[in-house]
Amino acid sequence: MVRDTKFPARLLAAGIGVGAGLGALISVASSGLAAYFARKIIVPENAPEELDILHIDGFPPNMRIQLPADEETTVPGTYGLYFNQGSGHAVVGDIVEYDPRSRTVSREILSVTRGDIRRAWRGRWTGVVYPDPIAAGVNFDDIEIRSDAGDLPAWLLPTDHPEPHDTWAILIHGRASTRAEGLRAAPVLNTLGVPSIAMSYRNDAEVRVETTSRYGLGDTEWIDVDAAIDFAVEHGAKNVVLFGWSMGGAIALQAASRGRNRRFVTALVLDGPVVDWVNVLDGQAKKNLLPTPIAKLTLEMITQPWARPITGLETPLDLDRMDWVTRAAELDVPVLLIHSDDDEFVPSGPSHALAGVRRDLVTMPPYGKAHHTKEWNIDPMRWEDDVANFLEAKILPKD
């Protein structure tokens, strides 16, 4: 019997071919998954309304709302609820009743700022209590900030204090939010006599071009803050304080260090700020069970020129430039750093690290149960006192 010695060779060749093909397939799948997450990070998106509105009880001013109990709806404090694709908004107060068996919670409705909540069946929980300056009870003018990205809508919030300061505040919202996020600071700034601007920036929902919009995570948006400072200085500001929430904190840090108007920046007030993007993205990768190689490839895609056709970024992002733990020695203005230790999106570790190495400039009061950028919502009086005490001690002239 003659043995066919070619068969094993053919089988081996086939095995090698299958193995190579499977390896290529896995490589393509990994690259595709990394590209998907890279685009999720940098492509602006509208936050969905995924919270079921179970029931509305009573009539104004004694209305209640029943919601599914989750890690957000069971936290004490005052919050906003957008509904009807953002056209409606209500202010939701403290918990009235919690039913652990049905996993539902009943809370006060303090006001309905717009829309008919009785007709709503789903909404979006948010820290935005004031959807506009009218709801915040402050005077305002609609203005536009002229930037290289175009004309950016903003609210000018002139103080009604009899002796206004020539130090202004620029309010910079976070990722996937709007200029309304900064309005929580408007009442205390008005009381202090500090005029302010609640600004939008490139790629916001108000100004974006859907097919080309990409977030720069602070590496590009700071240019728009420079334009807002231009407006403030042209209208009487001698100095500015930059307020930044979440990604807005990363933007503020870049504007204070790279902007042509940085000489006017005398302080920063940062709430749940991104101090180190690599730390944030690593945390989100773990939270989403993203394998380490794919997570590393995702970071490479947003930071390397070769991936521009995939991500759509005009310029790769420099995440090292946005690492303020490493750059701590370069900080040169006082900072009030408000960051809850249970922040589920932006870990507070880098903020503590920055505060630890720059105790000469950074004030960081302890917050523990506010989640992400909701320290004001948990305790507005404390938040406002922290801001007022910081500004009066560090920036505003004594009487």
- In the block, residue with structure tokens 């859907």: 210
Category of 51 on φ-ψ map: left (φ > 0), alpha (ψ -120 to 50) or beta: beta
Query: Would you tell me how many other CB atoms lie within 10 Å of the CB of residue 15?
Result: 10
Q: Pairing relation of β-strands 265-271 and 362-363?
A: unpaired
Angle of helix 277-287 relative to helix 292-303, nearest 10 degrees, comes to 140
What pLDDT score was predicted for residue 290? 87
pLDDT in tens, the chain (399 residues): 444 444 344 333 444 444 444 344 345 457 888 998 898 999 988 889 999 999 999 887 889 999 999 999 999 999 999 999 999 999 999 999 999 999 999 999 999 999 999 999 999 999 999 999 999 999 999 999 999 999 999 999 999 999 999 999 999 999 999 999 999 999 999 999 999 999 999 999 888 776 678 999 999 999 999 999 999 999 999 999 999 999 999 999 999 999 999 999 999 999 999 999 999 999 999 888 888 889 999 999 999 999 999 999 989 999 999 999 999 999 999 999 999 999 999 999 999 999 999 999 999 999 999 999 999 999 999 999 999 999 999 998 765
Q: Give backbone dihedrals phi and psi of 380, rounded to 5 degrees, phi first.
A: -60, -35
- How is the chain split into domains, by residue range? 54-120, 133-287+307-395
pLDDT score recorded for residue 44: 85
Q: Classify the C-alpha dihedral 199-205-208-213 as positive or negative.
A: positive
Class of domain 133-287+307-395: alpha beta
Query: What pLDDT sits at residue 339?
Result: 98
Which positions ≥6 away from 278 have C-beta within 8 Å?
299, 319, 323
Paired strand residues for 198: 155, 171
Give residue 21's pLDDT: 44
- Provide the pLDDT for residue 246: 98
Cα–Cα distance for residue pair 88/395, rounded to 1 Å:
38
Distance of CA 259 to the CA centre of its chain: 21
Half-sphere CA count of 245, side-chain side, radius 13 A? 26
Which DSSP category does 169 fall into?
E
Which string of b and e fits 345-368 if b means at least 16 CB within 10 Å? bbbbbbbbbbbeebeebbbbbebe
Verdict on whether the full-model pTM lies above 0.75: yes
3-class secondary-structure state, position 31: helix
User: Which DSSP string corresponds to 117-162?
Assistant: GGG--EEEEES---SSHHHHT---EEEEEEETTEEEEEEEE----S
